[in-house]
Amino acid sequence: MSVRDTNILEPSDLKYLLIDSLRLYSDNVVFIDGNNPYRFSINKKTFYVLIKNVHESGKGRSNPDECRIQISKTPNFNQALNSHQDVIVLGYFADENVFTAWNPYLLRDRFNLRQTVSVYSRFSIQQEASIYKIASYRDNNGQSIISFKPDYLGLYLENLSHIHLLSDQELKKLVEISDNLNVENVQGQVMVDEQEFTITHTRYKRDPRFKDIVHEAYGHRCAMCGIQLELIEAAHIVPHSHELGTDEISNGLTLCSLHHKAYDRSLIYFDSTFKIFINEKKMEYLQKVGKDSGFRKFQTLGFESIQLPDNYTLRPNPANINLANKIRGII
């Protein structure tokens, strides 16, 4: 297998990749904090995720299909390991847009013995996962290494305790079940060959009362671009998934469907002075993964600041704005 011209993502790029990937599985995703490892909550369960770019194994390794990541015990990583939460190690191979995961419980034992650990996978397994959504193999020690499309990161995390025990066929069946349920709110257990697994797809419905008061306060116009045209939605500043994501008017504003999606995806944000900004770090990430088409046009579709209600009591709470920017991985 020839040397690959692999796309390398910076740590901030990988953070947004994780946030976007988890939201493909559930709306109930909160970025908490951290600097690789990052700490997330998904469906009220908290995890640390360390993510590195997958690269070739290097000199001294004879298998051209082999790839790896190297993990060093930095202070950030030690802090995560010493917590009472699961610490997941992921590799990302941008050429195939695929994650690779190693059993975190077995890795803990290795981290207790060494300062730096290398873990290995196969390019061919990642290519298979890019086609069939998920794929796995067992190394010479019988350990299961799983590669999967970003859509299934949430499914992997929810079933972390026993997903590495599944065969390749069982993993594909679990993914198929998850796909069939990912059109509605689902919370429960499913059976895969007599084993029980969790699937929780959370899709929040809007409170019609919240919609009415927010629309009225903002004159049925997008607070970022002023458009009406029946494209207006009531947007939460602090997301519904967060415990402080209330339906109070101070946590809402009207956005058109484009700016609502852009705000929730961290492409655009505003600060406590109500000035609007493009998230340059997120845009750099999208450029690297080839998803930045239309950026120049998007830049022209907005005001410099939020168009606020005249009544000060109806305006966003600055504390909500600051918290929302943290949750979305912006500050």
Q: What is the pLDDT of residue 13?
A: 86
Q: Compute the residue count for the chain.
A: 331
Cα–Cα distance for residue pair 117/119, rounded to 1 Å? 7
Per residue in 21-71, pLDDT (tens digit) is 998 898 888 898 888 999 999 988 999 999 999 988 777 677 888 999 998
pLDDT at 274 (0 to 100) = 94
Amino acid at 44: K
Please measure the distance between the N-terminal and C-terminal CA atoms of the chain and give it in whole angstroms: 41
Res 2: pLDDT: 39
DSSP 161-173: TTGGGS-HHHHHH
Q: How confident is the model at residue 206, as a pLDDT?
A: 66
Give the pLDDT of residue 197.
Answer: 87
Low-confidence stretches of the chain (pLDDT beneath 50) = 1-6
Q: Which two tokens stand for residue 143?
A: 């350990």
Q: Residue type at 210?
A: F
Contact 218, 253 (CB under 8 A): yes
Determine the pLDDT at residue 196. Answer: 85
The pTM of this model reads 0.80
Residue 239 near residue 327, CB atoms below 8 Å: yes
Q: What percent of the chain has pLDDT over 70?
A: 97
Of 48, 42, 38, give the one whose Cα is nearest residue 199.
42
Q: What DSSP assignment string belongs to 36-89?
A: SSEEEEETTEEEEEEEEE-EE--TT---TTEEEEEEE--HHHHHHHTSSSEEEE
- The alpha carbon of residue 161 and the mean position of all alpha carbons in its chain are separated, in whole angstroms, by 20
For residue 51, list its beta bridge partners.
90
Q: Domain extents for the chain?
A: 11-201, 208-327
